[in-house]
């Protein structure tokens, strides 16, 4: 099928885009278009107006910020995937990119667009929650920050309000954390059946901080608190890893579809939790 008709506006700057958003309440932002245009072709969505931000030259950066990283909303997936700075400061994201989309889609698709699209099986939202990223949203009225954990509200639904644009993704410094990402999908690069992203910090041999974040098994990426609670305050041994895996499986209420039924997804979550927690613990070193 072909997309429905829409008005096309091209923004040359962030201010341009914000003004266009304020003037056109029916408008959507067009970034890489790798999800949006697919959905428009299928007429799952019919935005009346698109604001193309691809010409804005200064929002595709990947920069140091303190001991963390600031990523402009238009940074293309392949630039983030191959960034030495990201590999050094947020290796969990680099590892996740091994499972994110196919090369040609990554040439055009953007990290900011991916997060705003909020696909329930997407990898990047889980990583952002696991590393405690902060998202900067701007409108003509000013800017505000939202933690990744509070950004994802439902299937294709985020805390971004009408008139707002995601402008920057900020990832805090990694410190001494261990981390691991694992995914099960039917084919490499396809939509995930289940995802777990885990970050850990150990102190005196005991787990001090744990984040175990799932994607693909609910309306949006979310922390599995019972799995985290099973780890915190104790040494991470095989018994703890088993307990976390069981708690993770119990904490999700997955759906069934043609790719996998709910029981399979729940088993996958247990297996992925076991894999990521043990690998993250090893990396804490």
Q: Taking CB under 8 A as the rule, does residue 204 contact another protein? A: no
- Whether residue 221 contacts residue 152, with contact meaning beta carbons closer than 8 Å, is answered with yes
DSSP H/E element including 68: strand 68-72
Positive or negative, the CA dihedral 94, 97, 99, 102 is negative
Nearer to another protein, 188 or 204 (CB): 188
Q: Taking CB under 8 A as the rule, does residue 285 contact another protein? A: no
Question: For residue 16, what are the CA distances in angstroms to 30, 179, 186, 259, 273?
Answer: 14, 39, 41, 42, 44
Q: Taking CB under 8 A as the rule, does residue 1 contact another protein? A: yes
Residue from 13, 28, 54, 99 in contact with another protein (CB under 8 A): 54
Question: Least distance to another protein from the beta carbon of 82, Å?
Answer: 11
Residue from 25, 26, 41, 237 in contact with another protein (CB under 8 A): 41
**C-alpha angle with apex 259: 254 to 262, nearest 5 degrees?**
25
Q: Taking CB under 8 A as the rule, does residue 2 contact another protein? A: yes
DSSP H/E element including 28: strand 27-30
Nearer to another protein, 19 or 54 (CB): 54
Question: Least distance to another protein from the beta carbon of 41, Å?
Answer: 5
Q: Taking CB under 8 A as the rule, does residue 38 contact another protein? A: yes
Nearest CA to 48 out of 93, 102, 98, 3 is that of 3
Q: Taking CB under 8 A as the rule, does residue 52 contact another protein? A: yes
Residue from 107, 156, 159, 243 in contact with another protein (CB under 8 A): 107
| Binding-site size, another protein (CB under 8 A) | 31
Which range of residues in 36-44, 61-69, 149-157, 176-184 is near another protein by CB under 8 A?
Answer: 36-44
d(CA 172, CA 89): 8
Q: Taking CB under 8 A as the rule, does residue 16 contact another protein? A: no
Residue from 15, 48, 104, 253 in contact with another protein (CB under 8 A): 104
Question: Least distance to another protein from the beta carbon of 8, Å?
Answer: 3
DSSP H/E element including 282: helix 262-284
Q: Taking CB under 8 A as the rule, does residue 239 contact another protein? A: no
Q: Taking CB under 8 A as the rule, does residue 34 contact another protein? A: yes
CA dihedral 280, 282, 284, 285 (to 10 degrees): -170
d(CA 52, CA 49): 10
CB count, 10 Å around CB of 197?
32
Binding region for another protein (CB under 8 A):
1-8, 10, 30, 33-34, 37-42, 50, 52, 54, 101-105, 107-108, 187-189
């Amino acid at each position: 099928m072909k997309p429905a008709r829409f008005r096309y506006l091209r923004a040359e700057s962030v201010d341009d885009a914000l003004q266009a958003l304020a003037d056109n309440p029916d408008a959507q932002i067009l970034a890489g278009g790798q999800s949006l245009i697919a959905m428009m072709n299928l007429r799952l969505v019919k935005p009346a107006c698109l604001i193309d931000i691809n010409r804005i030259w200064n929002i595709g950066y990947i920069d140091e910020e303190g001991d963390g990283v600031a990523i402009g909303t238009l940074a293309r997936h392949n630039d983030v995937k191959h960034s030495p700075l990201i590999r050094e400061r947020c290796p969990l994201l680099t590892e996740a990119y091994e499972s994110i989309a196919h090369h040609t889609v990554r040439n055009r698709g953007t990290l900011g667009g991916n997060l705003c699209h909020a696909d329930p099986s997407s990898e990047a939202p889980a990583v952002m929650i696991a590393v405690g990223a902060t998202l900067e949203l701007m409108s003509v009225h000013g800017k505000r920050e939202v933690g990744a954990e509070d950004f994802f509200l439902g299937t294709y639904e985020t805390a971004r309000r009408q008139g707002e644009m995601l402008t920057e993704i900020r990832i805090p410094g990694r410190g001494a954390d261990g981390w691991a990402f694992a995914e099960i999908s039917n084919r490499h690069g396809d939509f995930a059946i289940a995802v777990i992203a885990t970050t850990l910090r150990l102190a005196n041999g005991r787990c001090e901080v744990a984040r175990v974040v799932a994607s693909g098994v609910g309306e949006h990426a979310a922390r599995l608190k019972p799995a985290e609670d099973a780890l915190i305050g104790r040494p991470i041994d095989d018994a703890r890893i088993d307990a976390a895996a069981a708690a993770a499986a119990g904490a999700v209420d997955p759906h069934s579809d043609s790719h996998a039924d709910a029981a399979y997804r729940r088993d996958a979550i247990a297996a992925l939790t076991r894999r990521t927690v043990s690998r993250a613990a090893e990396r804490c070193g």
